[in-house]
Amino acid sequence: MNELHLGRVRKLRTVLVGAQWGDEGKGKIIDVLSDDVDWVVRYQGGANAGHTVEFGGRRFVLHLIPSGIFRLSTRCVIGNGVVVDPLALHQEIQEVQATGIPVQGRLFLSDRAHLVLPYHRAFDAGRERMLAEGERIGTTQRGIGPAYMDKAMRTGIRACALCQPDFLEQVRVRWEESADRLRRFGLDPVGMDSWVEPLTQAARALAPLVADTATLLNDAIARGEGILFEGAQGTMLDVDFGSYPFVTSSNATAGGACVGSGVPPHRIDRVIGVLKAYTTRVGEGPFPTELVNDIGQRLREVGREYGATTGRPRRCGWFDAVVARHAARINGVDLWAVTKLDVLEGLDPIRICVAYECDGERVHTVPADSRWMARCRPVYEEWPGWRGSIREVRNVSELPNAARRYLRRIEELTGVPIGWLSVGPGREATVPLDPPGIGL
């Protein structure tokens, strides 16, 4: 395992995935690791993601641009598996540039990435409004599901169209179809006149970024360059392996990195899973370890658990080892990056869910059926907590014994060693474990 760690072999191709329901701290870990790579590649999702990067007392939230953008030696790719809202991306580029970070020549948009257009957003928001309580997914209303729906229906518009003279005509044809669909659902189609001008401007600004990124990346691999694939969302929001239907519409798991970028599976060296030291979820759907009590409230306040994209309060709960094992298995996680350990300080005891109990049965894997998962009750182990801040810890040996025992138990339950520990939102609050694994 050691050769898979840190920068000892500099030019690794690494996939980084969220191991829970998103917001594990992927943005922070990508920013830390991208110090050492040539390319950072987003491979799925869209502007539903909110990835936070903090350094030098500044805080940035990225939705579409990969979190490697703040490392100037890194080039960034938005891969073909991403659905890209041109208006959102145009605005985000302007925001990043306003901070003095150059984007031109460093950011490439796959010519095969599908576009999210205003009618997708309208459909997403309208459908959520129409659904009954209990059926609603609680989407980010960024048009993600409808854009992937058009992709699968073969009625999508791809980024290569941004460079074509009849781009607006292509959009008009699809908008008319979608207006019919919206009316059939009793929804109001948003008039194209209200967004055609900003869309034209966005298309003009984005056209120079459009490239055959699969060729760029495979050429980079041939030159021996290092690549970090940035997953959005998390394993439990994956359209196949998450808590369906309360999921997003793409493959957030490691397999998505290949189809979402055009890089073949045998070119990937390792998978890093990002694991929050407790569990959160935004939106609807089953969440066996959810704490609807003072402890949940405390995790939300201390962990600042409010959505980076929508501002919604995140649901909070204890660490769920059933979910983490599922993530380790589906993604083939080699190393964990465990984040937000600092948030647990002062809680005593700390609980870990090791299995579920459902209809009198002991359950050790994530059920396919969400309704069944919603009936699962957690089976907990209790571990002693610790007092005092660990935010200044930079070496594992400085951690309180109770914190080390908690982390060691996570490794035992998942069969995966910890490679990085995060004890605060900033770059510097990161503890690499080299060699990986908590020694007791």
22 binds ligand IMO per the rule CB under 6 A: yes
- CA terminus-to-terminus distance, the chain: 19
Instruction: Report yes or no: 322 and 235 within 8 Å, Cβ to Cβ.
Output: no
User: Cα(91)–Cα(97) distance, rounded to whole angstroms?
Assistant: 10
If contact means CB under 5 to 8 A according to the sort of partner, which of ligand IMO, ligand GDP, Mg ion, none does residue 339 touch? ligand GDP
**Minimum CB distance to Mg ion, residue 25 (Å):** 8
Query: Which one of ligand GDP, ligand IMO, Mg ion, none interacts with residue 343, CB within 5 to 8 A by kind?
Result: ligand GDP
Say which of 23, 111, 334, 342 is annotated catalytic.
23
CB nearer to ligand IMO: give 42 or 409.
Answer: 42
> Which is closer to ligand IMO, CB of 143 or CB of 419?
143
Q: Does residue 305 interact with Mg ion by CB under 5 A?
A: no
373 binds ligand IMO (CB under 6 A): no
Which window, 32-40, 49-57, 101-109, 325-333, contacts Mg ion (CB under 5 A)?
49-57
178 contact choice in Mg ion, ligand GDP, ligand IMO, none (CB below 5 to 8 Å, kind-dependent): none
308 near ligand GDP (CB under 6 A) = yes
- Which residue, 48 or 414, is less far from Mg ion as judged by CB? 48
Instruction: Candidates 51-59, 99-107, 159-167, 258-266: pick the segment binding ligand GDP (CB under 6 A).
Output: 51-59
Q: Which is nearer to Mg ion, 218 or 310 (CB)?
A: 310
Query: Which option in ligand IMO, Mg ion, ligand GDP, none does residue 323 bind, with CB closer than 5 to 8 A by kind?
Result: none
Joined together, the tokens standing for residue 33 give 């690791």
CB of residue 76 to ligand IMO, shortest distance in Å: 16
CA angle 407/408/413 to nearest 5° reads 100
User: Which residue in 5, 31, 38, 51 is the catalytic one?
Assistant: 51
Cβ-based nearer residue to Mg ion, 49 or 324: 49
By the rule CB under 5 A, 23 interacts with Mg ion? yes
Choose from Mg ion, ligand IMO, ligand GDP, none: what does 237 bind? Cβ within 5-8 Å by kind: ligand IMO
Q: Which residue has the tokens 């030019």?
A: 11
Smallest distance, Å, CB 416 to ligand GDP?
18
Contact between 54 and ligand GDP by CB under 6 A: the answer reads yes
Binding-residue total with ligand GDP (CB under 6 A): 23
Count of residues touching ligand IMO (by CB under 6 A): 23
Site for ligand GDP in 102-141 (CB under 6 A): none
Our answer to whether residue 23 is catalytic in this structure is: yes
Segment 329 to 348, residues that bind ligand GDP, using CB under 6 A: 339-340, 342-343
Number of other CB atoms surrounding residue 112 within 10 Å: 18
Q: Which listed residue (48, 243, 253, 289) binds ligand IMO by CB under 6 A? A: 48
Burial 184-205 (b: 16+ CB within 10 A, else e): eeebebbebeebeeebeebbeb
Q: Which of 12, 15, 18, 344 binds ligand IMO (CB under 6 A)?
A: 18
In the bound state with ligand GDP, the residue whose beta carbon lies nearer, of 178 and 331, is 331
Site string for ligand IMO, 381-410 (x = CB under 6 A): ------------------------------
CA 334 to CA 216: how far, in whole Å? Answer: 27
Contact set with ligand IMO (CB under 6 A):
18, 22-23, 48-51, 137-140, 142, 144-145, 232-234, 237, 248-249, 282-283, 308
Catalytic residues: 23, 51
